[in-house]
Amino acid sequence: MTTVIQNVKLLNEEGELVVSTIVIENGKIASINGDIPAGATVIDGNGHFASPGFVDVHTHLREPGFEHKETIATGSASAAKGGFTTICAMPNTKPVPDSVENMQLINGLIKESAVIRVLPYGSLTKDISGEVRTNMQELKEQGAVAFSDDGIGIQLASTMYEQMQQAAKLDAVVVAHCEDNSLIYDGVMHEGKRNKELGLPGIPSICESVQIARDVLLAEAAGARYHVCHVSTKESVRAVRDAKAAGIKVTAEVCPHHLLLEEMDISSDDANWKMNPPLRAADDKDSLHAALLDGTIDCIATDHAPHTAEEKCCGMVGAPFGIVGFETAFPLLYTNFVETGKWKLKQLVDWMSVKAAQIFDLPYGTLEVGASADLVLIDLDKEQTIDAEGFVSKGRNTPFNGWTAKGWPVVTMFEGNIVYQEAE
């Protein structure tokens, strides 16, 4: 089967938009600007920007175990609507993908209901309890894309070190949510200025940065590849930057909300502003921007974390951490950083696709001939106000409700098939 998308704009090497034609055969990119084969199905791209489908290495789909928050079907459809075609699912489900049996269960659910490519993480410890280590080789054979206990920091250095040694043998990546529990005092937002004004318990910056500093030294000793989740503080940036300079195999991601928001944006005790790590101070946010631009931070990941309205209803204390991210990530970043001239469009696209894929050796996030036909057509001029009620995700928990943004996906294609199309 052959599909042709005519009249789209592609980014060239110089980062300019050039009108192009994409020919897709058997789910792969067959040619760019080549001849249109006879009998092909022709789609008019309406002059929209054709980006590689986005790759999100940090997502929570909640199934199995928490289907009231999200399912693989709703989460993957929400991702498709946001232009994502490959997402990595974190293991804080019930059961946790910590055994062959559980990995097989989760793979079965993904096969049944995902509309895009969903790659599951395996956990670093049994039941992500930080105690008993998993057999990573076994989990890798079942398709684990990488290994993480995201949501909780690995408290014992010995546990992390032993799993990094296993990972080094398998050439697998250890992916860490860094949080030293001995430095947390039941905080719900950044330990800074605004938490005191609101009378809410704080989460100090050091509970993230000290664990990153520990882990990069462990990664060096183990010879392991180590990826830091959702970097949020300037001290964390410094630790990653220094580690890279020392030749340690470390990579890092940042979330859209940490680039867009800071603690002082929180005006009331509203749990739609509660996430972990929390929104930090203005100079932390500045350091994250600088780190993306100088390559210290490699990619952008949403940490899409849906919860129900009931769970998020009643203030920060007691509400779970997390906000949704798939359906707003590109338009928010495009509007606030590309349209304003801070970033080039190519930088944003690379951070959201190929650079994320490269961390895990995934052959996705490009529109080269021979690549999987995973792409998203984006109307860069379309302006729309974010309305959480209209999300495909079951989660409505976002601090961006009511924001206006440009650059909305209109068609998402996965392996050459349309998996999202904007309603007429």
Q: Which of 83, 64, 121, 54 is nearest to 350 (CA)?
A: 54
Q: In 247-349, which ranges are E strands?
A: 250-254, 299-300
**Is 303 a known active-site residue?**
yes
CB of 58 to Zn ion, least distance (A): 7
Query: Which residue is closest to Zn ion by CB?
Result: 177
Q: Which is nearer to Zn ion, 150 or 298 (CB)?
A: 150
Give the DSSP H or E segment for 42: strand 41-44
Q: Which is nearer to Zn ion, 4 or 356 (CB)?
A: 356
DSSP-derived secondary structure letter, 65: T
User: Is 202 within 8 Å of 194 (Cβ atoms)?
Assistant: no
Paired with 384 in beta bridges are 405
Q: Which is nearer to Zn ion, 84 or 121 (CB)?
A: 121
CB of 8 to Zn ion, least distance (A): 36
Q: Which is nearer to Zn ion, 177 or 406 (CB)?
A: 177
CB of 411 to Zn ion, least distance (A): 31
CB of 141 to Zn ion, least distance (A): 26
> Helices then strands (H, E): number in the chain?
12, 18
Q: What whole-number distance in Å separates Cα of residue 21 and Cα of residue 200? A: 54
Q: Which is nearer to Zn ion, 150 or 215 (CB)?
A: 150
Alpha carbon 375 to its chain's center: 17
> In the numeric block, which tokens belong to residue 66?
């928490």
Cis peptide before 363 (omega within 30 of 0): no
Q: Which is nearer to Zn ion, 236 or 366 (CB)?
A: 236
Q: Which residue do the tokens 């502003």 mark?
A: 273
Q: What whole-number distance in Å separates Cα of residue 88 and Cα of residue 121? A: 7
Q: Which residues lie closer than 8 Å to 16 by C-beta, 6 or more apart?
A: none
Q: Which of 284, 303, 374, 379 is catalytic?
A: 303
Q: What whole-number distance in Å separates Cα of residue 328 and Cα of residue 227? A: 24
User: Is 168 within 8 Å of 143 (Cβ atoms)?
Assistant: no
Paired with 117 in beta bridges are 86
Give the DSSP H or E segment for 243: helix 234-245
Give the DSSP H or E segment for 81: helix 72-81
> In the numeric block, which tokens belong to residue 246?
């020392």
Kindly tell me the sign of the dihedral angle through the C-alpha atoms of 70, 72, 77, 83: positive
CB of 92 to Zn ion, least distance (A): 9
Task: Name the packing angle between helices 206-222 and 157-170 (round to 10°).
Answer: 50
- 402 CB neighbour count, 10 Å cutoff: 10
Q: Which is nearer to Zn ion, 172 or 255 (CB)?
A: 255
Which parts of this chain interact with Zn ion (CB under 5 A)? 150, 177, 229
Which residues are identified as catalytic?
A: 303
